[in-house]
């Protein structure tokens, strides 16, 4: 697959019908909706680059907007169909690699590591103290913790 570039007009015309129609806000308050084509270009930039959402260049809409639409499109299956339309089997591979990144990110947040055989990881078990052993909570040393503040 070639390095990322923004969608051409021809590519946009091919995939625009696949994207769900966003209803404009009925109230006059708040921000106007971000341009869907610009959001898609931002999402594709993150997917191709492997960068974090917060590293999204300023030429695209805010990373929060791009990430929110990415999650919506991914959960509804729109993103996978769109990538297959644009890139064929390479698009499916790109979508699978993004899913793997999402799984490893979630596992990193919970402290669990992904397991290759597909089973759920088991949380580490701490041994129980021997019967009759008093349980002592660790002492927090406030003087050491705030030494730099003095």
- Residue 121: pLDDT over 80: no
User: Is 0.85 topped by the overall pTM?
Assistant: no
Whose CA is closest to 47, among 1, 13, 8? 1
Mean pLDDT of 130-136: 68
- Flag whether pLDDT at 139 surpasses 70: no
Query: Tens digit of pLDDT for each residue in 1-17?
Result: 456 789 999 999 998 99
pLDDT grade for 91, boundaries at 50, 70 and 90: confident
At residue 60, the pLDDT reads: 94
Is 39 exposed, middle or buried, given 0-12, 13-18 or 19+ CB atoms closer than 10 A?
buried
Q: How far apart are the first and last CA of the chain?
A: 56
């Amino acid at each position: 697959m070639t390095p990322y570039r923004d969608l051409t007009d021809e590519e946009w015309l091919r995939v625009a019908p696949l994207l769900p129609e966003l209803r404009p806000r009925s109230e006059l308050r708040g921000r106007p909706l971000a341009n869907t084509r610009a959001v898609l270009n931002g999402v594709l930039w993150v997917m191709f680059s492997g960068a974090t959402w917060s590293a999204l260049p300023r030429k695209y809409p805010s990373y929060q907007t791009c990430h929110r639409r990415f999650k919506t499109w991914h959960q509804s299956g729109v993103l996978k169909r769109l990538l297959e339309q644009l890139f064929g089997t390479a698009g499916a591979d790109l979508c699978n690699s993004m899913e793997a990144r999402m799984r490893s990110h979630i596992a990193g947040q919970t402290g669990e590591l992904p397991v290759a055989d597909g089973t759920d990881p088991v949380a580490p078990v701490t041994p129980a103290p021997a019967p009759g052993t008093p349980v002592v909570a660790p002492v927090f040393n406030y003087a050491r913790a705030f030494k730099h503040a003095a």
